[in-house]
């Protein structure tokens, strides 16, 4: 068992705690394998009726994958290490989505990227007023994965394109509205929820979510749902066919939030933005989680052949100068051959 994963059982619960708080529980391959092995062992264990996923520390459930490790593998010429990690991670996320027992995820604090892969596919997903949920991949020259394109594709209207292209985070209200979470509870209520859960043994995930919300739910702060309130201009701007057209529509919009979204897209990798747009729309059209994982793995192979991923991690995480040099630098500079390659990777 990996030292960064703590497991325990009792009162009908199987509890998995991500225990790497100094890194906001960022996932290593060892952690992924340990969680997968634990879930496999509990599938036929009748003493475990409900599984709980939570993170140690005060900062969040999970900040995503260990991208420093990814950067080391990529720059050392070992891209297959990254792809092998993704294969294990995607298999775990799919196992959570299809698990025969309800999985309850505590998405308190930061829940990004790989954290969404774990929690976003659980049967019961609980955020708190301090939750920040997101798929920030375009900021590092990558495209949403861990089934994130599936979740973004299923979001109401064009919220999926908005969050995928801008890499913006969702507060509790937006996470619920976008379908990334089920209800909000106060952070101090999470221990009460844990104590209550044994009473829900034998019920479905939907029944558990409904019951817990009645007993322990709290309204998400209105300030945590700015995108839900801005659906009008979001749906209009992101309905355009290409990323460049979306950017132009945002820049022409009179709404302050649109200008902020345009600036975020301009700051992100143009190649990643174009790829994310196509991947989210493909996932929406297909609405098949397994197919989304397969597409995301193909996209990862494609993006590993371009410099933006290593450069984005360098700028945001390694050197932290926040000054990535994208190739190409703008959406307008994406040539037809590259766009065709993107389309081929998305399939």
CATH number assigned to the domain comprising residue 159: 3.90.226.10
Q: What is the pTM of this model?
A: 0.97
So what's the pLDDT on residue 61? Answer: 98
Centre a 10 Å sphere on the Cβ of residue 289 and count the other Cβ atoms it contains: 20
With 80 as the cut, is the pLDDT of residue 154 above it? yes
Beta strands at 103-106 and 60-62: parallel, antiparallel or unpaired? unpaired
Residue 84's Cα: distance from chain center in Å? 19
The stretch 87-113 carries a mean pLDDT of 98
What's the first-to-final CA gap in the chain, in angstroms? Answer: 38
Q: Which residue has the tokens 């409904």?
A: 210
User: What pLDDT shows up at residue 304?
Assistant: 96
pLDDT for the residue 10? 97
Q: Which of 54-63, 180-189, 334-343 has the weakest average pLDDT?
A: 334-343
Instruction: Copy the structure tokens of residue 36.
Output: 């997968």
Number of domains composing the chain: 1
Burial class (CB in 10 A: 0-12, 13-18, 19+), 21: middle
* Section 182-203 average pLDDT: 97
State the average pLDDT for the chain. 97
Largest CA distance in the chain: 59
Tell me the mean pLDDT in the region 272-278. Answer: 98
Whole-number CA gyration radius for the chain:
19
- Domain span at residue 317? 5-346
Q: Decide: 308 and 326 in contact? Cβ < 8 Å.
A: yes
**pLDDT bucket at 281, cuts 50 / 70 / 90:** very high
Planar angle of CA 101, 83, 56, nearest 5 degrees: 50
Q: Is the pLDDT of residue 170 over 90?
A: yes
CA angle 345, 84, 314 (to 5 degrees): 75
């Amino acid at each position: 068992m990996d030292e960064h994963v703590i497991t325990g059982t009792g009162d009908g619960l199987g509890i998995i705690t991500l225990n790497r708080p100094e890194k906001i529980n960022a996932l290593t391959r060892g952690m992924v394998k340990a969680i997968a092995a634990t879930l496999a062992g509990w599938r036929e264990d009748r003493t475990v009726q409900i599984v709980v996923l939570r993170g140690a520390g005060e900062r969040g459930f999970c900040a995503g994958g260990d991208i420093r490790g990814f950067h080391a593998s990529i720059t050392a010429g070992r891209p297959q290490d990254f792809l092998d990690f993704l294969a294990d991670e995607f298999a775990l996320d799919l196992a959570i989505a299809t698990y025969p027992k309800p999985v309850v995820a505590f998405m308190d604090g930061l829940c990004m990227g790989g954290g969404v892969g774990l929690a976003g596919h659980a049967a019961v997903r609980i955020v708190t007023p301090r939750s920040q949920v997101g798929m920030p991949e375009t900021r590092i020259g990558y495209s949403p994965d861990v089934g994130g394109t599936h979740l973004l594709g299923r979001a109401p209207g064009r919220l999926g394109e908005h969050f995928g292209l801008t890499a913006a985070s969702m507060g509790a209200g937006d996470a619920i509205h976008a379908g990334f979470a089920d209800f909000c509870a106060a952070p101090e209520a999470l221990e009460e929820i844990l104590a209550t859960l044994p009473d829900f043994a034998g019920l479905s995930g939907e029944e558990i979510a409904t019951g817990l919300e009645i007993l322990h739910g709290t309204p998400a702060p209105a300030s945590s749902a700015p995108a839900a309130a801005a659906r009008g201009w979001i749906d209009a701007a992101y309905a355009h066919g290409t990323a460049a057209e979306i950017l132009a529509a945002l820049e022409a919009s009179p709404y302050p939030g649109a200008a902020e979204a345009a600036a975020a897209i301009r700051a992100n990798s143009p190649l990643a933005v174009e790829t994310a747009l196509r991947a989210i729309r493909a996932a929406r059209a297909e609405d098949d989680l397994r197919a989304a994982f397969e597409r995301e793995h193909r996209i990862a192979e494609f993006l590993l052949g371009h410099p933006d991923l290593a450069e984005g991690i360098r700028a945001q995480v390694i050197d932290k100068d926040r000054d990535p040099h994208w190739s190409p630098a703008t959406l307008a500079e994406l040539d037809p051959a590259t766009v065709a390659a993107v389309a081929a990777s998305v399939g």
